[in-house]
Amino acid sequence: MDRTGARDVSIGQATNWSRLRGHNAQREHFEGILAAGRLGHAYLLVGPEGVGKLAFARCLAACLLCPRTDDSTLEACGECQSCKQIAAGSHPDLLEVGLPEGKNVVPISVLVGDGESRGRAGLCYDLSLSPMESDRRVAILDDADHLERDGYSALLKTLEEPPARSVMILVAGSEADIRDTIRSRCQLIRFSSLPTTDVADLLIEIGATDNRTEADEAAGLADGSVATAALMLDPNMRTLRETLYRHLARSPMDPLKMTEEVVAAWESLGSDSHSKRVNATWVARFAIEFYRSVLRVLAGADETSTIPEAASLCSQLAAGDPATLDRIGSMLDRCLDAERDPMANVMLPLALEA
């Protein structure tokens, strides 16, 4: 697998079904396709980030390339040379590209080569060559919703005239960001979020943490995405969350000190504008999580909060008191506004008290 200049996607390393969580309906769909002998030339896997779409694509590729299993089944032996090469990322007939590290577009060179080698290199070209070891070639294009403008026409050409014995698997976070011309030439496979327990299990499996409580906590914040959950375990992200929680739990609050400390923690997470924006959203989301939890306890829906700082605040507030419920409710509303427009509300903590 030739992942040209691509970032390391550690959560996507599973290449056999036993290590993949969830997505049974999608698996059954492909089982049906193979059993009927109706494998197409192009598939588009879309769904939330970090739920295992890329891992699914690799498992699928392993099944399509394993010489020991029947073409009509969605299985790979896991033991032959081909399966081992796929696990090691070195199978000559499995091509894989995606966003290069630190970039937010997939350059056209990755698809069709660059300069003098334009048209004689890149994913689309490699897919057109004869298979070397298997009886077909499989290309995985991750981050297919982040192509350079000309990249779409290059890709379209391959999709319109797919090479014989080739399968192209596009992986994307958002269906809306894929051009209609591309989408209409692929069979669309939608993915959804993973259950929280699966996310926590995976965090432990990939070594992101060996602490079950930490894994559960991170998974609870991640909307079914392993990538997001892993981010929640980042020490700087934890500092941001804990600093915010600590201040939100203070009664009365110290808005100046809170702003100062939260902004410092926020800035330590990344100084480029993209990171700042994304991390500002996290400030808002953590506050939402906090107040939502407080509100549930005060309203009697939960006995206690799983956030220790929120539990401590609850013990100081009067449960069921309409004025307190109102006040917490309006704080939650402000946090929801801030989530929609994080950069305008970076001083969110201050806004809460204003």
Interaction site with Zn ion (CB under 5 A): 66, 68, 76-77, 80, 83
> At closest approach, how far in Å is the CB of 68 from Zn ion?
5
Longest dimension (CA), the chain: 73
Please report how close the Cβ of residue 17 comes to Zn ion at its closest, in angstroms. Answer: 13
Closer by beta carbon to Zn ion, 138 or else 307: 138
Please, which residue, 75 or 148, has the CB nearer to Zn ion? Answer: 75
Minimum distance from CB of 231 to Zn ion (Å)?
34
Which CB atom, from 90 or from 211, has the smaller least distance to Zn ion?
Answer: 90
Residue 56 burial (CB count, 10 A) = 25
Distance from C-alpha of 341 to C-alpha of 345, rounded to nearest angstrom: 7
Of 68 and 212, CB closest to Zn ion: 68
Task: Please give the torsion angle defined by the CA atoms of residues 28, 33, 36 and 41, in that order, rounded to the nearest 10 degrees.
Answer: -170
What 3-state class would DSSP assign to 240? helix
For residue 62, report the phi and psi dihedrals to the nearest 5 degrees: -60, -40
Neighbour-count burial of 226, counting CB atoms closer than 10 A to its CB (0-12 exposed, 13-18 middle, 19+ buried): buried
133 or 223: whose CB is closer to Zn ion?
133
Least Å distance, CB 344 to Zn ion, is: 54
Minimum CB separation of residue 81 from Zn ion in Å reads: 8
Per-residue H/E/C for 47-110: CCCCCCHHHHHHHHHHHHHCCCCCCCCCCCCCCCHHHHHHHHCCCCCEEEECCECCCCCECCHH
Cβ of residue 205: shortest distance to Zn ion, in angstroms? 22
**Strand, coil or helix: what is 289?**
helix
Distance between CA atoms of 327 and 77, rounded to whole angstroms? 59
The encoded tokens of residue 83 equal: 């399966």
Between 16 and 109, CB nearer to Zn ion: 16
**Dihedral pair phi/psi, residue 273, rounded to 5°:** -65, -30
CB of 76 to Zn ion, least distance (A): 5
Q: How far is the CB of 71 from Zn ion (least distance, A)?
A: 13
C-beta of residue 195 within 8 angstroms of C-beta of residue 224: yes
DSSP assignment letter at 331: H
Within its chain, how far is the Cα of 169 from the centroid? 17
Q: How far is the CB of 1 from Zn ion (least distance, A)?
A: 15
Of the pair 66, 294, the CB lying nearest Zn ion is at 66
Closest to Zn ion by CB, 87 vs 112, is 87
Q: Which is nearer to Zn ion, 134 or 225 (CB)?
A: 134
Token pair of 349 as six digits: 């903590």
Residue spans of beta strands (DSSP E) within the chain: 42-46, 94-97, 137-141, 166-172, 187-190
